[in-house]
Structure 1
Amino acid sequence: MGDGVQEISRVIIKPSSETTGHPTNLKLSYLDQLIPSFYIPLIFFYKADESRGLTTSNHVQLCQQLKQSLSNTLTSFYPLAGRIEENFVVDSWNFGVEFIEARAHVQLMDVIQGPDTEDFKQYLPLDPTTGEARRLLVVKITFFDCGGVALGLCFSHKVADFTSIMAFANAWAATCRGETEFSRFIFNLDSYFPARDFPGSDFWGFLLSDENYVTKRFVFDEEKLAALKQEATSSSLKDPTRVELVSAFIWKHFMELAKSKNQEARKTFAAMHAVNLRARKFPPGLLENVFGNCLMSGLAFSDTNVTCDQYNSVEEYGDLVRKLRSSFKRISDDYIAEAQSGDRYLNDLYKLLSPVLKGELEYCSFSSWCRFPVYEVDYGWGNPIWLCTTALPLKNLTVLVNSRCGEGIEAWVNMQQDNLEMLETQIKLIPSTGLKDLDACGKRLQGKSSS
């Protein structure tokens, strides 16, 4: 399938007007500094729609409209047109955003109904698993023979979390539709979490993936989620969320495989889950429209730092769900305030860092995109029929996204191959048909195709 994509053009898009009035140098917050320099990839797929002007005959006009609206949007999101210098300063707003146009000689529906992580890379502007994130945003629009399109984005996690990038995507979409009203974000996260003098350029650089890690997509449909919920609530846990259920499931089986590989090892296992601070800081709304990495990692630890010789030494599933929930709740208004004025959060991270570097602790990390309205990003061609990520750049990272029909969760998991094979086996054992969500989505999409 890779031979079917042909690059047509590559240009640099700059803000449409000068960013006068903005600071020449924009300091990153220490929360930004803690993030390694890598790209987070995502791809929006849109079906051809003649009534909305998305056809095989107007690609030139559509591409020009995208470029102009991107240029206009960058005036409000000017740091994305800059670059990072010395780890804590974003400079040169006119460095620009690279925009790539391509053609794919395949049908869009064939692509999304046979998802393969490696194949998806060709719809991104670059391979997110190689190289440092020099440009802060890179874009690729791919036109399919059927008239549909794929819009691939790679954004530098050094300057933006998923809340920030979705704010940008929605603003760009609104501008492309001819609207002028959208949520305005403020680039002052450093005033809440001032930059620190960290040794080295990447505090968490050891998290970066390598060739031994592979990304695979797993679907937890309604029935699987219901089965997991029943198992978790059997231990008197009330109302576990879908994100808690799936994260704990992956964490549990990651630990089981690690124990099976080395039964004599004495290790602790941790789960790190990204927690958005915007809704947790008092007074309400204080951080709501702050651009940047306005997040912290909730840290959960498993009581397994003793020599174990059997699988059932891993904690019960419900207990792991409970620990994840507690790690989220721990990041309270008081905790955030102490992280602003002191070193509470940094001290927690250092407690994790030392045993990892010594080989005494293994970890999984999680990020949930489930609460974001990713299926409402409309550039004037209607809503996307699918959003996905692809090859992930961090070791043992899982990204959770709502499935196409909304009832289930897609888990994009980046681990070593044997972990993925074991996880796939365990997911199949969850009581479920395993087909409901995908079949329902397939029928819905085919229905739209014939309408």
Structure 2
Amino acid sequence: MEANMQIFSTEIISPSSKTPDHLKKLQLSYLDQQAPPVYVPLIFFYQADELRGSISTNHVEISRQLKQSMSKALTSFYPLAGRIDHDNFVVDCNDNGATFIEARVCGKLMDVVQEPDIEKLKEYLPVDPTGGNIGDGTLVLVQVTYFDCGGIVLGMCFSHMLADFTSIMGFVNAWAATTRGESEFNQFTFDLASHFPPRDFLGSDFWQFFTSNKKLVTKRLVFDKEKCASLKRVASSPSGSTVKDPTRVEVVSALIWKNFIEVAKLNNLDAKKNFVAFNSVNLRPRTSPPHIMDNIFGNCFTTAIAFSGTTDVAKTDQSTRVEEFHDLISKLRMTFKSINDEYIKEAKNGGNYVKNLSSLVALILKGEVGWCSLTSWTRFPVYEVDYGWGTPIWFCTTAFALRNSAILVDNKCGDGIEAWVNMNQECIEMLETQIKLI
């Protein structure tokens, strides 16, 4: 930690009202069971001249209001103040609380925003998210850092074993609304397990493999409006391309996937393995009738799998040829479209989905299939999170524990993408070269 960063307070925040006895045990779903045992890091930056409105710029008063409103918000999101009983697949909603840390730092907030350093960004988080575990079991940790220039940074870590990004943002927005003095916010339900009951899922070594501590590099790769437009033109231009109106997420995801495959094949010229892209797909907006699961809390997402070659995971005798950019986009699009209401109804049973994923993971563990993971946080209102000081000037994540992974986030203007890529140095360097050529 930097010498000028000083932590001066650590406190446990419990819900303002005790959780009723009949809500003390929350059954986890099998979708929660498949989530990685890591923390999801979020960092919001608020500039000094935006600290206005109903909240005083006095740090003591700001912290008091943040703690008070967090306590109230945890009453509505009571599982976040509990602890997970891994043996029984339940959350013990015991009101043990969330961690709230206060820190101060000398310097200017804009220096951090304009020249972000991945390792130093972790200093604004309450726990190192690259640790690959959830420590003492606390499900939510927050750190508020006060700059002597008046700027404020809110760093948060949420256990992925309980919440996906939709759920996390539900809590963050409820907390912000409560801090502003509002009582109305989206109310979530906690019955995901009634739709996706728990199951025996994968082996104990599954996440140890995917959260390997091998030396990786995390980079923030910026695709502005012009670069996204250029990638869309490249995707649509080749003869025989069936890609029509590709999205920002599709073109950036395909570029990362393509580069990952190229590097893997260069390192092993005899490799004829298949390469898959895992894509996290939010199930809530894909149900029929619509909106029946909009505000359900938990890991309400599925892992959609796109194959670079055949969709038969047992066949690993693929050509060393790397597929064209537009071909990979088509495969991603088909995968996304396959996650429909019929898919969800079958997934509620879980049988085929768990069986197929387990078979694929077995091949990955044997080294017969290459993989990378792509997650999009775009179109979430991260730049609208207002605690009464105005909206953030920057939102980001940082280094994280899952290897061969990328998280895509909107830029401030909403017309570009910041890709937080966690891969080996060679793949990062190739991506950086490709971006310069766009």
After TM superposition, the score normalised by the length of structure 2 is 0.94
Q: Which residue in the other structure is 1:159 paired with? A: 162
CA deviation vs aligned residue, 1:332-391 (integer Å, no higher than 9, x gap): 111110111241221231232121011011111011110101000000000011100001
Separation (CA, whole Å) in 1 of partners of 2:36 and 2:132: 12
- Correspondence 1:379 to 2:387: yes
**Counterpart check, 1:318 vs 2:321:** no
Structure 2 equivalent of residue 182 of structure 1:
185
Per-residue deviation, 1:131: 4.8
Residues 37 and 207 of structure 2 are in contact (CA less than 8 Å); yes or no, is this contact kept in structure 1? no
1:124-203 alignment runs, 5 A limit: 124-133=125-134, 134-198=137-201, 200-201=203-204, 203=206
Deviations 1:1-35 (A, max 9, x none): 82221101000000011111542211100000011
Corresponding residue for 1:438? Answer: none
Task: From the superposition, tell whether residues 205 and 190 of structure 1 become closer, same or farther in structure 2 (CA, over 3 Å).
Answer: farther
Instruction: Trace 1:356-375 onto structure 2 (pairs within 5 A).
Output: 356-375=364-383
Of the structure 1 ranges 408-417 and 340-349, higher mean CA displacement relative to structure 2 is found in: 340-349
- Structure 2, unaligned stretches of length 5 or more? 311-315
In structure 2, the residue matched to 1:277 is 283
- Change in 2 beyond 3 A, CA 1:80/1:201: farther
- Report the Cα distance in structure 1 between the residues aligned to 2:150 and 2:372, rounded to whole angstroms: 40
2:283–2:301 CA contact under 8 A, matched in 1: yes
Partner SS, residue 364 of structure 2: helix
What's the RMSD between the two structures over aligned residues? Answer: 1.6
| 1:429 and 2:418 matched | no
The change in CA–CA distance for 1:205 and 1:331 in structure 2 (over 3 A counts) is farther
Query: 1:179: Cα distance to partner?
Result: 0.4
Is structure 2 residue 282 aligned with structure 1 residue 253? no
Amino acid at match of 2:7: E
Moved more, 400-409 or 97-106: 400-409
Taking the aligned partners of 1:335 and 1:308, their CA distance within structure 2 comes to 30
Partner residue, 2:23: 23
Equivalent of residue 406 in structure 1, options 390, 410, 414: 414
- Secondary structure at the aligned position of 1:95 is classed as coil
Identity of aligned residues (%): 58
Could you say which residue in structure 2 is the equivalent of 1:243?
Answer: 249
2: CA distance, partners of 1:99 / 1:159:
19
Which residue in the other structure is 1:93 paired with?
A: 94
Q: How far has the Cα of 1:54 moved from its partner?
A: 6.5
Give, in angstroms, the shift of residue 113 of structure 1. Answer: 0.3
Contact 1:37–1:202, Cα closer than 8 Å, also in 2 = no
- Of 214, 219, 238, 1:216 maps to 219
Mapped contact 2:26–2:93 kept (Cα < 8 A):
no
The answer (yes or no) to whether the contact 2:52–2:390 under 8 Å persists in 1 is no
The structural deviation recorded for 1:306 is 3.9
Amino acid in structure 2 at the alignment position of 1:221: D
Per-residue deviation at 1:118? 0.5
CA contact (8 A) 1:375 1:384 kept: yes
The 5 Å alignment of 1:29-68 reads: 29-49=29-49, 51-52=52-53, 58-68=58-68
Residue 117 of structure 2 corresponds to which residue in structure 1?
Answer: 116
1:394 deviation in Å?
0.3
For 2:367, give the aligned amino acid: G
Tell me which residue corresponds to 1:434: none
Q: Report the CA distance between 1:206 and its aligned residue.
A: 1.9
- Residue 198 (structure 1) shift: 3.2
1:58 maps to amino acid: N
Check conservation: 1:208, 1:395, Cα contact below 8 A.
yes
Q: In structure 2, give the amino acid aligned to 1:114.
A: E
- Letter of the aligned partner of 2:343 in structure 1? Y
- Residue 297 of structure 2 corresponds to which residue in structure 1? 291
Q: Could you tell me the TM-score, scaled by structure 1's length? A: 0.91
Distance 1:4 1:53, change over 3 A: farther
| One-letter amino acid of the counterpart of residue 410, structure 1 | E
Alpha-carbon spacing, 1:132–1:316, altered in 2? closer, same or farther (3 Å): same
Give the Cα–Cα distance (whole angstroms) in 2 for the partners of residues 342 and 413 of structure 1.
30
Q: Partner residue of 1:447?
A: none
CA distance in 2, matches of 1:282, 1:308: 40
Instruction: State the SS of the aligned residue for 1:351.
Output: helix
